[in-house]
Every structure is written in structure tokens, then in C-alpha cells.
């Protein structure tokens, strides 16, 4: 039986295109909420920490990964009415590259006003 070789990027893209967004109005110190996805490997969580009475730090985390080739990037933050929409991308190891074989937890952070609600949105 013959199988066609499908690149990991094509599989990853198909998985990413099916991921939902998550809306929240969390602003309490230390709130940790998970974003559901189609596979456990694609789970992205966020944590909100109060910096001061006017600013919250929002940290996105992609969970443990087997090497340093994985990363998460906040690509933009759009402000619409009283909501900040935090857009992010997931980056996978490039085929044929060598990465340090250590457990990592890709994270990215941004700061928003405590007066805003926010949502996170995976960019396709």
C-alpha cells in the first residue's frame, strides 16, 4: 500500500483553519482560561495579571512543546468600541531544521487597559 507524504505545514494549516476564537471579559488578577480547539496539541490558554489599576498584562501560552521550533506570536491588537481583539499566530518547526530537543512552553504577552474587555483570535 502506498501513502503520499503530506507536509506537516499542510496538516497544521488545516488544523489552524478550523480553530475557534474565544471571548472574555476577564480582568481579575491571575485568571486562567483555556481556549478549546480541535486537538489537545493546539490548546492555547491565557492568563491575565493586573499591572496596576489601569493596565492588565495578558499572556498567551501554547503549552509544553518538545523542542524550540514552536512559537506563538501576537501579531496585532485591534480596538473596537470597548474591546481589544488580540490576534495571534502559531509557528511550527521548519522541516529539515535542527532545534534543541528541550521541553519549552511558547508564550507571548501584551498589555491592555483594565477598562476594556478582550478576546483572542487565531489568525488564519
pLDDT of residue 101: 94
Report the helix count and the strand count for the chain, using DSSP H and E: 1, 8
pTM above 0.75, yes or no: no
- Residue 92 β-bridge partners: none
Domain limits, the chain: 8-122
Query: Which residues make Cβ contacts (< 8 Å) with residue 2, sequence separation at least 6?
Result: none
pLDDT of residue 113: 95
pLDDT of residue 54: 96
pLDDT of residue 41: 52
- Please say whether the beta carbons of 109 and 57 come within 8 A: yes
d(C-alpha 88, C-alpha 96), whole Å: 25
Mean pLDDT for each consecutive 10-residue tract of the chain (124 residues)? Answer: 40 38 41 40 87 96 95 95 94 94 96 94 88
d(C-alpha 58, C-alpha 28), whole Å: 11
Amino acid at each position: 500500500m502506498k501513502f503520499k507524504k503530506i507536509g506537516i505545514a499542510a496538516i497544521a494549516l488545516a488544523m489552524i483553519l478550523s480553530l475557534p476564537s474565544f471571548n472574555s471579559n476577564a480582568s481579575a488578577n491571575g485568571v486562567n482560561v483555556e481556549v478549546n480547539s480541535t486537538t489537545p496539541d493546539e490548546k492555547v490558554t491565557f492568563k491575565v495579571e493586573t499591572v496596576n489599576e489601569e493596565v492588565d498584562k495578558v499572556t498567551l501560552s501554547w503549552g509544553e512543546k518538545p523542542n524550540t521550533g514552536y512559537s506563538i506570536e501576537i501579531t496585532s491588537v485591534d480596538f473596537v468600541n470597548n474591546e481589544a481583539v488580540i490576534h495571534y499566530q502559531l509557528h511550527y518547526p521548519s522541516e529539515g531544521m535542527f532545534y534543541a530537543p528541550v521541553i519549552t512552553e511558547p508564550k507571548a504577552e501584551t498589555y491592555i487597559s483594565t477598562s476594556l474587555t478582550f478576546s483572542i483570535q487565531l489568525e488564519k
